[in-house]
Structure 1
Amino acid sequence: MKLLMVGAGLSGAVIARRLAEAGHRATVIDARPHIAGNCHTERDPETGVLVHVYGPHIFHTDDAEVWDYVTRFETFRPYKNRVKTTARGEVFSLPINLHTINQFYRKTLRPDEARAFIAAQADTSITDPQSFEEQALRFVGPDLYEAFFKGYTEKQWGCHPSALPASILKRLPVRFNYDDNYFFHRFQGMPETGYTAMVARILDHPNIDVHLDTPYAPGMADRYGHVFWSGPLDGYFGYDLGRLGYRTLDFERFTETGDWQGCAVMNYGDPEVPYTRITEHKHFAPWEDHAGTVCYREFSRACGPDDIPYYPIRLVEEKALLSDYAARAAGEEGVTFVGRLGTYRYLDMDVTIREALDTARAFLSGGVERGVAGVPG
């Protein structure tokens, strides 16, 4: 069967490869001039540093099959994501851990003492946290919430934390030891030659054709037996019910010599600082040696029609619109909606690959379902 993948990111590449290996012909198109979607990496021409063009992507998973899959196409070097944050004139370690707690409160607490101390700070009157703010106050109390979460969250999402769901904060751990590894998954690493090189190897199959600078146009689907759509869900329908809300990012690039900030990611929690963080990309590949360094200040704002969507908002208004689009998607013949944009969900890379593998298996078994994963149809 001739199949069309709209989008050359992880979803389109993984599905195309699995179906190509099963004997199908896959055409992969992307409106951008490169493959790998938002995990695209390239060499900075001035410094030689391998840059994560659309912001840093650290691979982490507990899914052994997904780890085996990516390491089939790329060598992954060990990498631990150790984030720092500048707040109130000091630098702290994230996620909040025993060092953060002791430094912030000027104490020398042991783990059991720190656990009891934070429990005493928590707002126990909140029994069922519904918002980000309630979750934070119930979880760590007002002091840590104000210092590390409130300002950063307002800048990142463009609204007060009381308007955001509690589920956003549930992704962030608090540790009562000195472990400052941001993630807790069994497999963690960085691709030695970058994500774009990895995706290129996934797409390197005689049954796969790739066409870049090629946006989807009406009528393309008529030439294929099935379409796998990883573009915006609302975009498939021409945004005729309205646009789903996203946040986008602006990047302010600057270069220096040597080591500029001493770490890969420095968050800025104070609300008066306009950017959310600075990333220094040479630290994402610590096995390389570069005299120069390239950094990016990140600014978050509402996503416009011509911007690159990064984070689905999924607030009340968007969820209602999403249900309408999902119902229409469930009635579409010959198309499967996949990936972060196609399902309007924030997906880590490992989950994206897992769902792509499962989608390809379902298609090969004749059981692929229409509609959008994770939302009512």
Structure 2
Amino acid sequence: MNILLVGAGLSGAVIGRKLAEAGHKCRIIDSRDHVGGNCHTERDPETNVMLHVYGPHIFHTDDQEVWDYVNSFAEFMPYRNRVKTTAQGKVFSLPINLHTINQFFDKTFRPDEAKAFIEEQGDAGIEDPKSFEEQALRFVGPDLYEAFFRGYTEKQWGCSPTELPASILKRLPVRFNYDDNYFFHKYQGMPRDGYTAMIEAILDHPGITVELGTPYNSDMADKFDHVFWSGPLDGYFEYEHGRLGYRTLDFKRFNYEGDYQGCAVMNYGDRDVPYTRVTEHKHFSPWEEHEGSVCYEEYSRAAGPDDIPYYPIRLVDEQAMLNMYIEKAEGISGVTFVGRLGTYRYLDMDVTIREALDAARYFLGCVTEGKPTAAFVPS
């Protein structure tokens, strides 16, 4: 079969590779001039630092198959994401851990003492938190909420935490030990040569043709047996029912001779600091040595029509519009919607790869059995 995959990011590359290995001809197009989507990495010509061009991506997963898959296309180096935050004139570790609690409250708690103390800080009167703010106040109390969550969340999402669902803060964001590893997954690392090199290796198959700088137009679909769409869900339908909400990021780059902040990520929780964080990219490759440094201030705002969408907002007000697009997608044939943009969900890289592997297998199974494929791969 002749397959068109729109988007040369993780979803398109992984699905294309699986289908090409099964004997299908895959054409992958992308409107940008590089593969990798928002995971794209490149060497800075001035400092030779590996840059995460669209913001940092740290690979972390408990999925053994996904970990084995990425390691078959790239050498992954050990990496632990240790995030710091500047708030109220001090620097703390994130996520909130025993060191953060003791430093913030000027205490020397043991784990059990800290747990009891934080429980006392929480608002037990909020029995069923509905909003992000209620969730935070219920579990960490007003002081930690104000220092570490309120300002950062307002800047990141562009609205009051009272307007965000409690599900964004899924669990108690506190550790009662001194573990400052931001993630808790079994496998964590970075590809030695960057994500773009890894994705280029995935795409390196005789059954795959990649065309960059090539926007999709609806006439293309007629020339193929099936289309995998990893662009914006509403974009496929030319925004017929309006635009779904996304946040985008603006980056202010600056160079520094030496070590600017001593860590890869420094968050800024205070509301009077306009950016959400500063990333120093040489610290994402700690096995390398660079005298020069490249840093980015990150500013979050609502995505406009010409912006790169990063994070789906998924506010309650958008649910009706989203449902209309889902219904419209399910009413057509020959197209499968995949990835963060195609399914309008926030997905980490490992989940994106997992779903891409599952989508390819699902499609191949439908072809073998002569069954029609669904617009969204059944979970």
Same fold (TM over 0.5): yes
* TM-score range for the pair, normalised by the shorter chain length: over 0.9
Q: Which letter maps to 1:280?
A: E
The aligned residue for residue 342 of structure 1 is 342
The aligned residue for residue 41 of structure 1 is 41
Give secondary structure in 1 for the equivalent of 2:33: coil
- With the length of structure 1 as denominator, give the TM-score of the two structures: 0.98
Does structure 2 retain, via aligned residues, the 8 Å contact 1:342–1:372?
A: no
The alignment yields a C-alpha RMSD, in angstroms, of: 1.2
Q: What stretches of structure 1 of length at least 5 have no aligned partner?
A: none
Does structure 1 retain, via aligned residues, the 8 Å contact 2:333–2:373?
A: no
Does residue 321 of the first structure (1) align with residue 321 of the second (2)? yes
Deviation track 1:1-51 (CA, whole Å, cap 9, x = no partner) reads 000000000000000000000000000000000000000000111111000
The offset of 1:171, in angstroms, is: 6.1
Q: What stretches of structure 2 of length at least 5 have no aligned partner?
A: none
The aligned residue for residue 75 of structure 2 is 75
Question: In 2, Cα distance between the equivalents of 1:41 and 1:273?
Answer: 28
Deviation track 1:42-88 (CA, whole Å, cap 9, x = no partner) reads 01111110000000000000000000000000010000000000000
- With the length of structure 2 as denominator, give the TM-score of the two structures: 0.97
Question: In 2, Cα distance between the equivalents of 1:4 and 1:353?
Answer: 18
Does residue 183 of the first structure (1) align with residue 183 of the second (2)? yes
Q: 1:133-148 maps to which residues of 2 (within 5 A)?
A: 133-148=133-148
Question: In 2, Cα distance between the equivalents of 1:143 and 1:264?
Answer: 26
The aligned residue for residue 203 of structure 1 is 203
The aligned residue for residue 166 of structure 1 is 166
Question: In 2, Cα distance between the equivalents of 1:373 and 1:55?
Answer: 28
Question: In 2, Cα distance between the equivalents of 1:52 and 1:199?
Answer: 14
Give secondary structure in 1 for the equivalent of 2:130: coil
In structure 2, which of residues 351, 369, 375 is the aligned counterpart of residue 371 of structure 1?
375
The offset of 1:320, in angstroms, is: 1.3
The offset of 1:319, in angstroms, is: 1.4
Give secondary structure in 1 for the equivalent of 2:102: helix
The aligned residue for residue 273 of structure 1 is 273
Question: In 1, Cα distance between the equivalents of 2:254 and 2:45?
Answer: 13
The aligned residue for residue 132 of structure 2 is 132
Q: Which letter maps to 1:281?
A: H
The offset of 1:96, in angstroms, is: 0.2
Does structure 1 retain, via aligned residues, the 8 Å contact 2:333–2:375?
A: no
Does structure 2 retain, via aligned residues, the 8 Å contact 1:327–1:371?
A: no
Aligned length: 375
Does structure 1 retain, via aligned residues, the 8 Å contact 2:334–2:373?
A: no
Does structure 2 retain, via aligned residues, the 8 Å contact 1:331–1:370?
A: no
The aligned residue for residue 307 of structure 1 is 307
The offset of 1:170, in angstroms, is: 1.5
Does residue 7 of the first structure (1) align with residue 17 of the second (2)? no
Give secondary structure in 1 for the equivalent of 2:182: coil
Percent of matched pairs sharing the same residue? 74
Q: Which letter maps to 1:371?
A: A
The offset of 1:172, in angstroms, is: 6.8
Moved more, 210-219 or 364-373: 364-373
